[in-house]
Amino acid sequence: MSERLPGVSTRAVHSGVAVDQRMVTRAKTLPIYETSVFVYDSLEQVDDFLAGNPDNYMYTRLGNPNTSALEELIRDLEGGAAALFSASGMASVSAALLGRLSAGDHLIASRELYGTTQSLIERELSRFGISATLVDINDLTAVQAAITPSTRLIYTETASNPLVRISDIPALARLAKAHDLKLLVDNTFLSPALYQPLADGADLVLHSTTKYLNGHSDATGGILVGDAEWVAQARRFQINAGGSASPFEAWLTFRGAKTLALRMRAHSSNALVLAEALQAHPRVAKVYYPGLASHPDHALAQRLFRKGYSGMLSFTLKGGLEDVDRLIRELQYTAFAPSLAGVASSITHPGKTSHRALSAETLSSLDIHDGTIRVSVGIEDAEDIVEDFIQALNRL
């Protein structure tokens, strides 16, 4: 074989399978180790486990062959030193922040972070003496101005929700390094098939694997990949706090991740076709998709993402809530479901779901209106997706 690193599709299919070195059945892929505990023959084996032998397990909260296999697979795809799988994306966020930060520390976070992440920072971390400044992450001067002597890290999402604003990860990484800060990037909306923030200088990458990495809307999980010291701190926190995932969720996600590159190609090409069709419709006021030349971060997205712009887009109707409600009822294939990144297309209404807690002024300052709808474009045939939206819009 050549020295060249195999491609994302090849690694997604083959990485992690070798985790079960003791496999006796010759199963072609990794079976589910649905056990909470493992048996030891001797004290020596306990010593071996505690010395960190990766082929030795003790108790599933501490580790399990299925979670190890998934960690190895996503570690490989993101190109990091270590990985930690957790029971949900929020368990990963908690492990990343609470495993690393202490009372008196400060972090700078994008004001467009996922709502529950913001809530964790503002309502929970603050009770333990960890403070935060939320900024417009696309304004590097504002990010720099928020740095204090207590600042430890900068936290952003590759693409924001719902307007898919793109963070300039290379620039944020340079700023972080210059001030001896760490950069944490939630890459859920892109996935490593389209973008790898660690290669652009991020220290730790986070995913809600509930979304694209699993891709089938049937498993909940989260993963951290990157800096070995930070992942070890997160792992210690997770073992103590109890956010470990079940072997079955790890197995489902491992299975889902094998088709990641294929799915991301289909999500991305379908989203571009739908974005263009929506943009041309008289009932639509504005479309937000980084693959469109009209998006404010199109040039940045072109520079960072080489194989597509993912399947997430938003659009604002000329009408308000009544039209949104009508559209929900008229869509045939496309479910109204407040999650994203599954194989089936779905829509959600940020104002009534993820961003419900925000005041009308804040929503309007973020350019989120009554008529704003977020679409998670699935992998159905593009013409069927477009037809579904156009027939529904034509009925408004």
Q: Among all residues, which ones are annotated catalytic?
A: 61, 114, 186, 211
Cβ-based nearer residue to ligand PLP, 49 or 230: 230
Least distance CB 382 / ligand PLP (angstroms): 24
Cβ-based nearer residue to ligand PLP, 186 or 227: 186
Least distance CB 328 / ligand PLP (angstroms): 19
Least distance CB 114 / ligand PLP (angstroms): 4
Cβ-based nearer residue to ligand PLP, 93 or 300: 93
Contact residues for 133 (Cβ-Cβ < 8 A; gap 6+) = 106, 107, 108, 109, 146
Cβ-based nearer residue to ligand PLP, 340 or 379: 340
What are the contacts of 337-340 at 24+ separation with CB within 8 A? 339/210, 339/211, 339/217, 339/376, 340/189, 340/211, 340/312, 340/374, 340/376
Contact residues for 198 (Cβ-Cβ < 8 A; gap 6+) = 78, 79, 80, 205, 225, 226
Least distance CB 208 / ligand PLP (angstroms): 3
Least distance CB 293 / ligand PLP (angstroms): 25
Cβ-based nearer residue to ligand PLP, 161 or 310: 161
Strands 346-348 and 372-376: antiparallel
Q: Where are the alpha helices (DSSP H) in the chain?
A: 8-14, 43-50, 65-78, 89-98, 115-119, 140-145, 169-178, 228-241, 247-257, 260-279, 298-304, 321-330, 360-365, 382-394
φ/ψ (deg, to 5) at 102: -130, 170
| Edge-to-edge strand ranges of the sheet holding 335-336 | 284-288, 312-317, 372-376, 346-348, 335-336
Cβ-based nearer residue to ligand PLP, 120 or 292: 120
φ/ψ (deg, to 5) at 337: -145, 125
Least distance CB 17 / ligand PLP (angstroms): 25
Least distance CB 337 / ligand PLP (angstroms): 12
Least distance CB 361 / ligand PLP (angstroms): 24
Residue with tokens 């407040």: 338
Q: What would the DSSP string read from start to end of 334-391?
A: -EE-S---SSS-EEE-TTTTTTTTS-HHHHHHTT--TTEEEEE--SS-HHHHHHHHHH
Binding region for ligand PLP (CB under 6 A): 88-90, 114, 157, 161, 186, 188, 208, 210, 220, 222
- Bridge partners, residue 186, by sequence: 157, 206
Distance, in Å, from the CA atom of 35 to the CA atom of 17, rounded to the nearest integer, reads 19
Strands 204-208 and 312-317: unpaired
Report the residue closest to ligand PLP, judged by CB.
89
Cβ-based nearer residue to ligand PLP, 160 or 233: 160
Two tokens at 253?
């996600």
Distance, in Å, from the CA atom of 308 to the CA atom of 310, rounded to the nearest integer, reads 6
Cβ-based nearer residue to ligand PLP, 157 or 388: 157
